[in-house]
Structure 1
Amino acid sequence: MQAQSDGAARAAAQRPGANAQGNPGGNLSLPSLGDGEGLTVSAERRLGDRIARSIYQDPDYLDDPMLVDYLQLLWQPLLAAAKQRGEVPPELAERLAWELMISRERSVNAFALPGGYLGVNLGLLAVTERPEELASVMAHELSHVSQRHIARMMSNEQRLAPWMIGAMILGALAAGSNPQAAGAAIAGGSAVAAQQSLKFSRDMEREADRVGFGVLTGAGFDGQGFVSMFDKLAQASRLNDDGAFPYLRSHPLTGERIADMQSRLPSAAAGVGPRADAPVRPAGLPSAAMHALASARARVLAERNSTRWSNWVQIAAGSAAKPGELYAGALSAQRLGQHDRAAELAQRLRTAVAGSDARAMADALMLELLMSPGAPANAALLAELRDAALASGSRGPLLLGAQAAVASGEAERAASRLQVWVVDHPRDAQAWQILARAHQNRGRTLRAVRAEAEARAAHFDWDGALERLKAAQALPPAQRNADPIELAIVDSRRRDVEDRLREAMREEDKR
């Protein structure tokens, strides 16, 4: 399972793609790879940051707070287990990003990039049935990063110049949305040949399976997740692959790999599905009920066909509808403009999952629906859910609650809560964007413009950040002088951003 299996390029190919028509990642200045000494940790991180910047700018990049929260419930235990097992040594833990991304794409895929970035397509989340299945893919990808397979491959391919690696990555980033542009971006037959040669070896695949299995079970997940996920992919490989399963091409499943995973489970022969002797799930890991809601959300967000939305609404209307079906139906009804039906289904969902860890996702959905234009008025319920969300320590509910507070004329509460959040999470671009709106509603233009700059900086858009900081400094004296502490922060941040831009120029000169 290696959505990065053609090296950094093939990994990125099923990504939240680049703007294929507009020079994908055109500002990607590649770091020096050294004199044949391979990819250092610092160079790998810089390369990953620049690829990530291209991804952030692409329309397929999705920052859905509720889905990000759910993926973090899988990701953080896996990362902690990898650290505890020694698979992620302190240097890598500190210097790589270890950041998740989501792509809107419906294809069943995941990807890993240099520098510790890992992404999941909505299509993969949509087809998994239990949290351990999705966690097994993430554990495998994490292991490719922790074992530094990308750096090792690039060390082995010493004939590859940095520009060739860059052309390969840029071409793959464009492939998802415009194959012709991808072909143009891969400059010349030598780059194409290099792309084909940068593949994980069978030994690396086996190593990622072995290490990933240990990480998965070490985090408390049932190792059966590996077996059942392999079974899903193996079944798909026997069908006509119409492009929906790129994971099968970049992660070829061999009988040896499948047998190896099965041998690690004494009861694997009992078949695919939850094991009778499955370990007790540690507190904090998501339940199958929560996964069902996250999977339903992914299906609806990835779907653009109104007929499918209508079908999901009809299924949810049945008296025997399961929680995942109720969630998909409610969100689909909202997208179809059927606001009363959406609220009705969301309330049924809240009742169905009461007392479980899925209730927070159900409440968040109801708050999201109540904030939609045209939604039935229910001021009391909206206020109740807004206040509970603002008090939450989780990102998804907090950002929803802040948006609700701004919309209901309580921007001060939103700003106060978000200001605390961004201190601990300075790279949360969406939080900065909502904070900018809250400040603007309060008439604090200097703070609003600076928050806009921080949102751009969070996605490595240093030019955009500098433009907003200059705009803050150019505000009328009355607005600037009314908040001298904030103005001092703006001045300091401008110097920081200018340093970043100079560093990028120096790296460009090294090429």
Structure 2
Amino acid sequence: MLPNLGDTTSITPSAERRLGNRIARELYRDPDYLDDPVIMEYVQGIWQPLLAAARTRGELPPELDEQYAWTILLGRDRTVNAFALPGAYLGLHLGLVGVVTSRDELAAVLAHELSHVTQRHIARLISRQSEQTPWLIGAMILGALAASKNPGAANAVIVGGQAAAIQTQLNFSRDMEREADRVGFGVASQAGFAPQGFVSMFEKLQQSNRLNDSGGFPYLRSHPLTTERMADMQARVPANGAAAPVPQWEHALIAARARVLSNPAVDALRNWYSEAEPARLAQQSSMQQAATLYGATLAATKLRDFALADASLGRLAIAAKGDPLAARQVRLLAAELALAKGDGPKALAALGESMQVGSRAELLLQAQAQLQAGRAAQAGQLLQTWLADNPLDALAWQTLASASAAQGKTLAAIRAEAEVNIAELDYTAALARLKAAQDRARSGTQGADHFEASIVDTRTRQVEQLLKEQALER
């Protein structure tokens, strides 16, 4: 077992968080950024137990727990990749979600990246660049993000041999990779995930690297995997830990969803139709059939081919009825299909009377259904209750803005739009919306909502302070 490498950084957690905020602000603006409540809820169901296990094991000190973001950002990218950024922002490509075959494999990736953060590997790498400011490092990471899609775009951000040398040094060292493997393995096992997931996930990443390595900037590529590291993980698996995997129906449906959303091109969506033909389905296992029908239903919904979507959904409901978790995903998809048709009451019927406690996906679908059913007040109340505990949920704020506008609460709608900008770290846009809300409140148009106006004034002062701090950082 490797010893803990120790914290030898000169950058503080708060400074690292500010650097992470700067990078995340650009990621939120990226066209490939995606907040899909269904996939995010599934990922959070894995991520939160990993965080809890890291706390239990003492891997996550209180000062990091409080100051870091611990935020996962989904990307539409079809490559098999995940990466950690300063301040505990993690990027997760839909390509990876779509290729893993179990929760345990996805947990292995998240635990590995989590351990890069808890062991402060990123901060250590930044500290090595003592002659450069952290903000230059941040600019280079953004350049690497651009290069991952278009290698030529990197020239706009990363220029000269010196910058290329710094980019090279951003790679995690072999010792850091081993430490992330070791700590991540312990965290995932503590959280109750099968240890074999590490071995099988590494095999997938290694195969993906061989097939898809384009020679792009290494910071955002899947980490290089060696036979030695894979053997080390295999040796850590208990003798009884390599039992035959139990079919995970819910994961199969989520993986199909990720594959659909990662490639929204019309031809790609239509390919799901042929995959769901009876002759092809007959060659698949029952779980694979359910996943294919899920993908076909979602693809048809995106193409607004509602007749085919209804037909596929009916077959899917029959195929998945034996697994409660998969059956729930089918109900969520049925609600999504009804919303695409503009049928709010049918969406509410699909969701049912009882909502799973803490389910963000169900809450947002229900709020949208209430809006379509002409019940904006109920939608607003539902969202306000949620946002009281989750004030940085941008999608919930955006839905609340629509609910407020539907009720004629223009000031509240503008403020909710500003909260969307705040959640996505775009304080300049947020201040513009808040100023517009102040102007409207002072004009007295449609009657003054003094309570809402007071909130707007308070938030305006807070955002102005955040902008001042950003200016000082620059």
Q: Same fold per TM (> 0.5)?
A: yes
2: CA distance, partners of 1:58 / 1:357: 32
Q: Would the alpha carbon gap of residues 289 and 193 (structure 1) be closer, same or farther in structure 2, given more than 3 Å must change? A: same
Q: How far 1:314 sits from its partner (Å)? A: 2.8
- Whole-Å separation in 2 of the counterparts to 1:164 and 1:44: 13
1:197 and 1:243 map into 2 onto residues whose CA distance is 16
**Whole-Å Cα distance in 1 between the matches of residues 222 and 382 of structure 2?**
43
1:174 Cα deviation from its structure 2 partner: 1.7
Counterparts of 2:50 and 2:411, CA distance in 1: 41
The 1:85–1:291 alpha-carbon spacing in structure 2 relative to 1, beyond 3 Å, is same
Q: How big is the shift at 1:340?
A: 1.4
Query: What is residue 430 of structure 1 aligned with on the other side?
Result: 395
Are residues 1:330 and 2:297 paired? yes
What's the secondary structure of 2:92's corresponding residue? Answer: strand
Mapping for residues 297-446 of structure 1, pairs under 5 Å? 297-318=257-278, 320=282, 322-354=289-321, 355-373=323-341, 381-386=346-351, 388=353, 393-446=358-411
Amino acid at match of 2:433: R
CA contact (8 A) 1:386 1:405 kept: no
Is 2:134 the counterpart of 1:174?
A: no
Residue in structure 2 matched with residue 493 of structure 1 by the alignment: 459
Shift of 1:186: 1.0
Question: 1:367 and 1:317, CA in 2 relative to 1: closer, same or farther beyond 3 A?
Answer: farther
Between structures 1 and 2, the one with greater helix share: 2
Provide, for residues 385-437 of structure 1, a one-character-per-residue CA deviation record: whole Å limited to 9, x for no partner: 35547675311111111111112211111001001111110000110000000
Once the two structures are superposed, what CA deviation does each residue of 1:280-313 show, in whole Å capped at 9, x if it has no partner? x9xxxxx811111110000001113433323322
Deviates more, 1:147-156 or 1:213-222: 147-156
Whole-angstrom distance in 2 between the partners of 1:430 and 1:389: 22
1-structure distance, mates of 2:174, 2:361: 39
Q: 1:292 aligns with which of 252, 255, 272?
A: 252
Instruction: Work out whether residues 233 and 248 of structure 1, in 8 Å CA contact, stay in contact via their aligned partners in 2.
Output: no
How do 1:64-213 and structure 2 match up within 5 A?
Answer: 64-213=36-185
**1:88 match: secondary structure:** coil
Tell me, what secondary structure is at the counterpart of 2:325? coil
Alignment of 1:443-462 (within 5 A): 443-462=408-427
Q: Distance in 2 between matches of 1:312 and 1:253?
A: 32
The offset of 1:188, in angstroms, is: 2.5
Matched letter for residue 485 of structure 1 = F
TM-score (norm 2): 0.90
Bigger drift between 204-213 and 497-506 goes to 497-506
**Given the superposition, is the C-alpha separation of residues 201 and 439 from structure 1 closer, same or farther in structure 2, using an over 3 Å criterion?**
same
d(CA) in 2 for partners of 1:245 and 1:464? Answer: 31
Asked if 1:275 is matched to 2:242, the reply is yes
Looking at structure 1, the residues matched to 402 and 53 of structure 2 have their Cα atoms a distance apart, in angstroms, of 39
Which is further off, 167-176 or 83-92?
167-176
- Cα deviation code 1:161-182 (max 9, x no counterpart): 3353133123112213332221
Q: How does 1:456-475 map to 2 (within 5 A)?
A: 456-475=421-440
Output the aligned Cα RMSD. Answer: 2.5
Displacement of 1:203 in angstroms is 0.8
**Range with greater deviation from structure 2 (324-333 or 185-194):** 185-194
Q: Distance in 2 between matches of 1:352 and 1:243?
A: 42
The aligned amino acid for 1:307 is D
Q: Report the AA paired with residue 463 of structure 2.
A: V
1:481, distance to aligned residue in structure 2 (A):
4.8
For residues 387 and 483 of structure 1, do their structure 2 counterparts lie closer, same or farther at Cα, with a shift above 3 Å needed? Answer: farther
Kindly provide the amino acid, as one letter, of the partner of residue 460 in structure 1: L
> What does the per-residue CA deviation read over 1:86-109, in whole Å, with 9 as the maximum and x for residues that have no partner?
111111111111111100011111
Query: Is contact 2:11-2:127 (8 Å) kept?
Result: yes
Letter in 2 for 1:367: A
Measured after TM superposition, the shift of residue 333 of structure 1 is 1.6
Q: Which amino acid aligns with 1:423?
A: A
Matches of 1:243 and 1:103 in 2, distance apart? 20
Unaligned runs of 5+ in 1: 1-35, 269-273, 282-286
Q: 1:326, 1:277 → 2: CA distance?
A: 25
CA contact (8 A) 2:414 2:434 kept: yes
Q: CA deviation at 1:381?
A: 3.6
- Identify which range, 173-182 or 399-408, moves more after superposition: 173-182
Separation in structure 1 between the aligned mates of residue 47 and residue 270 of structure 2, nearest angstrom = 33
Task: Give, in whole Å, the separation in 1 of the partners of 2:291 and 2:219.
Answer: 25
Aligned residues of 1:170 and 1:186 also touching (Cα < 8 A): no
| DSSP-derived class of the 1:351 partner | helix
Aligned-residue offset at 1:346: 1.7
1:482 alignment partner, one of 422, 430, 448: 448
Contact 2:34 2:74 in 1 (8 A): yes
* Letter aligned with residue 329 of structure 1: A
CA distance in 2, matches of 1:130, 1:39: 37
Normalising by structure 1, we get a TM-score of: 0.84
Q: Which whole-Å CA distance do the structure 2 matches of 1:382 and 1:162 have between them?
A: 48
Using CA pairs under 8 Å that are at least 6 residues apart, name the structure with larger relative contact order, 1 or 2: 1
Contact kept, 8 Å, 1:107 with 1:245, in 2: the verdict is no
Q: Secondary structure at the match of 2:149?
A: coil
Out of 60-69 and 147-156, give the one that drifted further. Answer: 147-156
Inter-CA distance 489–326: structure 2 relative to 1 (3 Å threshold): same
Per-residue deviation, 1:197 = 1.8
The CA deviation string for residues 56-108 of structure 1, in whole angstroms up to 9 with x for no partner, is 01111101111110100110011110110011111111111111110001111
Name the SS of the counterpart of 1:112 in structure 2: strand
Q: Which amino acid aligns with 1:483?
A: D
* 2:4 counterpart residue number: none
Deviation (angstroms), 1:245: 12
Q: 1:427 to 1:238 in 2, by over 3 A?
A: closer
